Amino acid sequence: MRTDLDPTRFDGVDLAPTHRRDWTPQRLAINRSLRIDRRRFPVEYQEVGRLRQGVLDPEDPGYSGQALWRQDGSTVRIRLPWAMTGLADPSSKQAPAVGETPATIEIDDIGISVGLGEQTWVVDPARWDAWQAVRYRERLKNGIEPLSEAFTDLAP
């Protein structure tokens, strides 16, 4: 990601100097720095560019909720959470604008390219409709049964 577009500046979190030239690895701040008593806990990040490969179908026994991409023949499927897109507000199509002061601009889509070795393919951009209400479908994660049993055993 270009340093001047890094969305982390919206979080008010300082990036460690890991960039080279005008690019820096995109990292999602998942926990701010914290001081408890005399102990200081640093900012925690998820490396957005490190996408886990795996099964994306929740009905498949090999499914992993952490998998973000899978190759099936000549097709690459990507499942990217909104928080990892680097957008300031995907519901209104707002992206970080270039500049020192945090600001946003409206975008129409997100360009996508896939690189493998020396080859890069540019594919159709991702487009979506703006929204005002979140639509979701609840899905219980693997391992809920033993957790539920443990809570039941602890309940009076």
| Range in 42-51, 61-70, 78-87, 111-120 the model is least confident about | 42-51
Helix H or strand E encompassing 39: strand 39-41
pTM to 2 decimals? Answer: 0.62
Q: What's the confidence (pLDDT) of residue 113?
A: 82
Q: How far apart are the first and last CA of the chain?
A: 52
Average pLDDT, the chain: 81
Can you give the pLDDT at residue 20? 56
Q: Assess whether pLDDT exceeds 70 at residue 109.
A: yes
Residue with tokens 């929204």: 131
Higher-confidence residue: 46 or 55? 55
